[in-house]
């Protein structure tokens, strides 16, 4: 049941003691080796010796994406470059990229955490793990790859796209688990259907690890139904070593966040003040076991909440709800705050809606939802289309409090994404 029972079922007092020790060492490393953090800590009057408990984290400075970009390429490095064995960066499409450095210790730690994650979902030595994520500067594919290998799985580094070859690999080698984005999982399901392949009968894939894009519970259920498998939510980000930050166990009732490696805070995204357990807020993370590039109180922009109930799996690390959205994904129409996930939640729950959709923002008071629907809806009876469009419009209006324009499209009309999906098209001019 456990990959590392001692670590995964650690009691609360021992965990807090371990966190405090690791937090103090992290602050010491940053104070001694990173001028950026030394300046920040000096400005607040905090010294490493002041760290007496995990509560002292509130005295430490935040770190933001802008801080990482402003210190590009290696201003936040806490070790000599000779100790660095890997570099990952963000795309840099919105300015300077974020450079994240890894020592061998960091790679080993990340692999261990991913192995924990995969094991608690039931993956075992002998499973065939097909990795359909983008390799390269993106951390997600490589870290899941390393974790699956550590577990003893046969790993197929397929990468994204080339769907015909993906299916052939599944058939030829008996793939039992896949790592995939939610949008590509839905597209894969549509291709299998067109080819007359029943994934429940003709394939051996029984687990999917879904990430890299925000998605709703409704989308997860649709993926599970269409592909005939269990889909597990995984969470991570490059700044925190990549995917093994938090993961669902077999009960799929929230993501266990590995508190022996991270301190979590849920804060009001505007004030930066803590919110009560169970309340929604921004996830803020501090690394506790990172060597090359420790990070204090990183503002992830991801919105979630702590789940307070004990998990029946027996793991003692706290759980967070699946990511509800990103603070910077929100857009405003007619003065109403709207998150893309609210729209997806409605669409994926309506019978007749297919796998692909786009949100078009054309003005401050107009939103258009373009959604593909099942091909059998185009049966020549216009009343069926009118009824479906009215249902979508009314349910969306009830959810987001704004009446959208809804366009129904035949399958295959919208661009297909074999990587991260582009769901929001914003052509507004300010």
Q: Which domains does the chain have, with CATH numbers?
A: 1-328 (3.40.50.12780), 331-426 (3.30.300.30)
Q: Beta partners for 304?
A: 281
Residue 94: is its pLDDT beyond 60?
no
How many CB atoms sit inside 10 A of residue 69's CB?
Answer: 16
Lowest-confidence region among 4-18, 109-123, 144-158, 360-374: 360-374
Q: At a CB cut-off of 8 Å and minimum separation 6, what does 186 contact?
A: 219, 222, 223, 226, 355, 356
Of the two residues 430 and 386, the one the predictor is more confident about is: 386
Tell me the torsion sign for CA atoms 131, 133, 134, 137.
Answer: negative
Helices (H) and strands (E) in the chain, counts: 12, 21
Residue 330: is its pLDDT beyond 50?
yes
- Contact assessment for residue 124 and residue 172, using Cβ atoms and an 8 Å cutoff: no
Residues 396 and 394: their CA atoms lie apart, in Å, by: 5
Region 211-225 average pLDDT: 88
Lowest-confidence region among 20-29, 150-159, 168-177, 341-350: 341-350
Per the structure block, which two tokens stand in for 55? Answer: 């509560």
Region 33-51 average pLDDT: 95
What pLDDT is stored for residue 93 in this prediction? 47
Residue 289: is its pLDDT beyond 50?
yes
Residues shown for the chain: 430
What pLDDT is stored for residue 418 in this prediction? 62
Residue 329: is its pLDDT beyond 80?
no
This prediction has a pTM of: 0.84
What pLDDT is stored for residue 419 in this prediction? 61
- Phi then psi for 260, rounded to 5 degrees? -80, -10
According to DSSP, the β-strands at 177-180 and 207-210 are: parallel
Per the structure block, which two tokens stand in for 235? Answer: 């969470």
Rg (CA), the chain: 22
């Amino acid at each position: 049941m456990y990959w590392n029972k001692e670590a995964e079922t650690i009691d609360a007092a021992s965990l807090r003691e371990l966190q405090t020790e690791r937090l103090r060492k992290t602050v010491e490393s940053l104070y001694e080796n990173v001028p950026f953090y030394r300046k920040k800590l000096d400005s607040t009057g905090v010294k490493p010796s002041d760290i007496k408990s995990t509560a002292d984290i509130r005295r430490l400075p935040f770190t933001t994406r802008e801080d990482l970009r402003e210190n590009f390429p290696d201003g936040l490095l806490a070790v000599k470059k000779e100790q660095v064995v890997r570099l990952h960066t963000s795309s840099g499409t919105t300015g300077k990229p974020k450079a994240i450095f890894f020592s061998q210790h960091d790679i080993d730690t990340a692999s261990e955490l991913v192995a924990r994650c995969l094991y608690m979902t039931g993956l075992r030595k002998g499973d065939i793990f097909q990795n359909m994520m983008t390799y390269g500067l993106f951390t997600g594919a490589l870290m899941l790859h390393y974790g699956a290998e550590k577990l003893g799985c046969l790993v197929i580094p397929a990468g994204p796209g080339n769907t015909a070859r993906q299916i052939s690999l599944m058939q030829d080698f008996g793939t039992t688990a896949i790592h995939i984005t939610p949008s590509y999982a839905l597209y894969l399901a549509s291709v299998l259907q067109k080819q007359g392949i029943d994934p429940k009968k003709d394939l051996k894939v029984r687990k999917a690890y879904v990430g890299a894009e925000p998605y709703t519970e409704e989308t997860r259920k649709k993926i599970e139904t269409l592909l005939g498998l269990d889909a597990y939510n995984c969470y991570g980000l490059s700044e925190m070593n990549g995917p093994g930050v938090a993961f669902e166990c077999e009960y799929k009732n929230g993501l266990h966040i590995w508190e022996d490696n991270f301190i979590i805070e849920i804060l009001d995204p505007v004030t930066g003040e803590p919110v009560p357990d169970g309340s929604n807020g921004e996830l803020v993370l501090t690394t506790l076991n990172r060597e090359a590039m420790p990070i204090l109180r990183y503002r992830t922009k991801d919105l979630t909440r702590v789940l307070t109930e004990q998990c029946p799996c027996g793991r003692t690390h706290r759980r967070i709800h699946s990511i509800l959205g990103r603070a910077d994904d929100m857009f405003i129409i007619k003065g109403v705050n709207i998150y893309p996930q609210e729209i997806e939640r409605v669409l994926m729950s309506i019978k007749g809606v297919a796998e692909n959709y786009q949100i078009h923002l054309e003005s401050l008071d107009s939103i258009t939802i373009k959604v593909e629907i099942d091909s059998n809806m185009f049966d020549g009876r216009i009343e069926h289309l009118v009824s479906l469009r009215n249902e979508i419009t009314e349910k969306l209006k009830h959810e987001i409090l704004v009446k959208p324009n809804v366009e129904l499209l035949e399958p295959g009309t919208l661009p297909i994404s074999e990587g991260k999906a582009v769901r929001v098209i914003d052509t507004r001019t300010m």
